[in-house]
Chains A and B, each alone.
Chain A
Amino acid sequence: MASVSSLAASLNPATPADAVARAELREIDASAKWPVIVFLLSGLVWLLVGSGFALVSSIKLHTPEFLGDYEWLTFGRARTAHLNSVVYGWSMNVAFAVAFWLMARLSRAQLRHAGVLIMAACFWNLGVTIGIIGILAGDSTSIEWLEIPPYATPLLFVAYALIGVWAVITFRFRKSEHIYVSQWYLLAALFWFPWLYSIAQIMLIFEPARGTVQALVNWWFAHNVLGLWFTPIGLAAAYYFIPKVLGKPIHSYYLSVLGFWSLAIFYNWAGVHHLIGGPVPAWVLSAGIAASLMMVIPVVVTAINHHLTMVGSFSALRYSPTLRFVVFGAVNYTLVSLTGSAMAIRSFNEITHFTHFTVAHAHQGMYAFFTMVMFGAVYYILPRILLKEWPSAALIRTHFWAAAIGVTLYWLDLSVGGWIQGSEMNNANIAFIDVVQHTIPWLFVRSVAGIVMTIGHLAFAVNIGWMLCARQPAGATAPTLFRPPPAMPVGSVP
């Protein structure tokens, strides 16, 4: 296909290389436009739905009579609807959007036959919708992270098959010689997820394994979805956007190779730390604990690589929204992973297992790291595919501070509350009902934090809606930043 860029170059030998490259990027962005928009908007809807279920379940934990007579909103179902809307709805959709855009850009290849991807998006979201309605109606499987009833999962499989194949095709058509570290992460994640998901479905739902082998399969899956799917995609985005926005290369190529392979090797053994103290063979637990400790290697390596790239450029955080979100996420990746390794140590686990400490940890991982990186990515990608700028810097600022303050409060609050809960629970002299009572203030503050986070989500949604409706400006416009940047050599903003 004679692309406009090569046409321009062939007609005008004097076209600067830079302009050719820009034209090429525009075409790639244009080819990714509709799939990215569809995935992103579906994700956004699920984020709002998920925030609603989050607040309902959070309030129920300190005020159990709240909506107490509705069976479909009983805690066990509202909470499960929350998890599935934010994980399979929001996080997966936004991951697909960002992964495709990154894959196309890094491979310098256009997305072919984007219609197939839009169809995949429809299947996926239909599957999630049926799944969540099923959960609310009482068909949940009660297998953590796999609650979607079996009649909805085939839709997810079909959708995923299209998505995975399309990403690989895009990669196969790459024009760039070099395979950037973000692409390794994307490819690995795209390959790992269907393996994990299909084994888990088979061994837990269609042909269930006997006894506690189920628990091992369950946590092998559930932890790997975090470690081998969301983490690589979050890291791929961080590896792309930090250097991109700063306009300088990543700190060390060597460290990124080391970080990738050590993650690939250690992470997938770590999941069984969710069963420490449980009725499964002791050697598996020891292996899981060892792997969880070894995770310090990829985490520290990646941390050095990300954070040293930032050194000397912190001022850019003052004006670039993308950078601010992504760096917040990258810092939390370091923190959440180191906490995770600590939580696998038996004496630590003895206290934190079975408490709200784990919930704090889950939100630090899925929200403070993954979701924040994705927010940052969206702030970069949308203007490029819509060829319009963000209408309101104030809304971006509201989004950032509400999300950042909200999730930090959430995490601090439940970490402390969970620790107290665990310590008291291990002391049989304290009556159980007192342990329960002592968690209530912490649970209440969590609801407050959740409201703050939800305000951020609303600001995000309003900004996106406004942007979509705004008329396309003629000619080039300036990117929306928090404040005007000082005159300094930055690559591409925001």
Chain B
Amino acid sequence: MNRGPLIFLGIFLALAFSWTGIVLTNQIQYGSLTPYYDANEGKAYPDKPSGLAERGRLVYQDLGCLYCHSQQVRRPGFGGDTERGWGDRQSVARDYVYEKRVFLGTMRTGPDLRNIGARQPSVDWHFLHLFDPQLTSPGSIMAPFRFLFEYRQVIGERSPKALKLPVDYARSHGWDRSGYELVPTPRAEGLVAYLLSLKDTYEFPEAKPYVPPKQEVGSK
């Protein structure tokens, strides 16, 4: 093969093929997908994220939670996602239309977080878990995010948001100086607001919750 231009043409066409097929076609096919208006509820889904959650999304992005957590539920019967309670139904493209940056993820060192807001709605739990995952999940290998909290002198009233560390833990880890409190920084608050906003607990015509087959009478 000695014809430079011909080789070049082939090289061009090869990538043009998948560029058209994967990128352009899909951009045209569903690149302007809209939210779904639910006439029964008089409301469109998915919900728009709040400003605080939107700031939290940026914290999720800059700390790289994505490298340990996915945000996509596979269909029932393909993997154990729904059985593990990671979602009632499969995630579909429409769930993501408001996300400026989509964090589908490819790794599950930790659980899928697509519906963490529904599964774990407690703000306090999330703060404790981020501060030190061992507090809520002994044996976890999740990174601690203590730097998202501020250890500061109490001025006047104790902050209502101050972390309620177990007494033993606070003592053994040196967080028990009297007159001091541990409070989440605005980044931590945003992050938790973001986590709580992660819940696809609505239906689309193309994505209905999975109804398990009826259990036979007598099988426990």
B101: contacting residue among A74, A142, A220, A428, CB under 8 A: A142
A54 to B101, CA, bound (A): 26
Stretch at the interface among B65-73, B121-129, B153-161: B65-73
| Interface residues of A, dominant DSSP | helix
Which residue on chain B has the smallest CB distance to residue A265? B14
Find residues 99-129 in chain B having any chain A CB closer than 8 Å to their own CB.
Answer: 99-111
Closest B residue to A57 by CB, please name it. Answer: B67
* Contact, CB under 8 Å: B108 / A268: no
User: Is B211's CB within 8 Å of the partner chain A?
Assistant: no
Interface string of B71-89 (1 = CB under 8 A from A): 0101100111001100000
Q: Is B217 an interface residue (CB 8 A)?
A: no
> Are A79 and B67 in contact, CB atoms less than 8 angstroms apart?
yes
In whole Å, how far is B9's beta carbon from the nearest beta carbon of chain A? 11
- Could you tell me the distance between the alpha carbons of A257 and B92 in the complex, rounded to whole angstroms? 41
The one of B62, B79, B147 in contact with A142, judged by C-beta atoms closer than 8 angstroms, is B62
| A344, B61: Cα distance in complex, Å | 28
Inter-chain contact B78/A142, CB cutoff 8 Å:
no
The answer to the question of A425 belonging to the interface, with a C-beta cut-off of 8 Å to chain B, is yes
Q: Which residue of A lies closest to B104 (CB)?
A: A215
Which interface residue of A268, A269, A287, A437 has the most chain B CB atoms within 10 A?
A268
The stretch of B18-26, B36-44, B191-199 in contact with A is: B18-26
Partner of B140, one of A269, A279, A354, A433: A433
Taking a contact as CB atoms under 8 Å apart, the answer to whether A76 and B95 are in contact is no
Q: Which residue of B is nearest A203, CB measured?
A: B23
One of A9-17, A61-69, A233-241, A327-335 at the interface: A61-69
Task: Please indicate the chain A residues that have their CB under 8 angstroms from the CB of B218 in the complex.
Answer: none
Q: Is B167 an interface residue (CB 8 A)?
A: no
Within A332-369, the residues touching B (CB, 8 Å) are 346, 350, 353-355, 358
Q: Cβ of A37 < 8 Å from any Cβ of B?
A: no
- Residues on B with beta carbons closer than 8 Å to the beta carbon of A184: 1, 7, 11
Tell whether A437 pairs with B139 under 8 Å between CB atoms, given A75-B68, A265-B17, A268-B14.
yes
Enumerate chain B residues within 8 angstroms of A440, measured Cβ to Cβ.
141
Say yes or no: A279-B91 contact (C-beta < 8 A), given A76-B63, A272-B22, A354-B107: yes
Q: Is B143 part of the binding interface, using a Cβ–Cβ cutoff of 8 Å? A: yes
Q: List which A213-262 residues lie within 8 A (CB) of chain B.
A: 213-217, 220, 224, 228, 257, 261
Measured in the bound complex, the distance between the Cα atoms of B66 and A64 in whole Å is 16
* A178 located at the interface, meaning its Cβ lies under 8 Å from any Cβ of chain B in the complex: yes
Looking at the assembled complex, report how far the CB atom of A147 sits from the nearest CB atom of chain B, in whole angstroms: 8
Q: Which residues of A contact B106 (CB under 8 A)?
A: 144, 274, 353-354, 358
Given A139-B62, A184-B7, 14 other A-B contacts at CB below 8 A? A60-B143, A140-B64, A142-B103, A211-B97, A212-B93, A213-B30, A214-B101, A214-B102, A224-B15, A224-B18, A277-B79, A278-B72, A432-B84, A433-B140
For the complex of A and B, 5 pairs with smallest distance between CB atoms: A76-B64, A428-B83, A264-B14, A268-B18, A354-B108
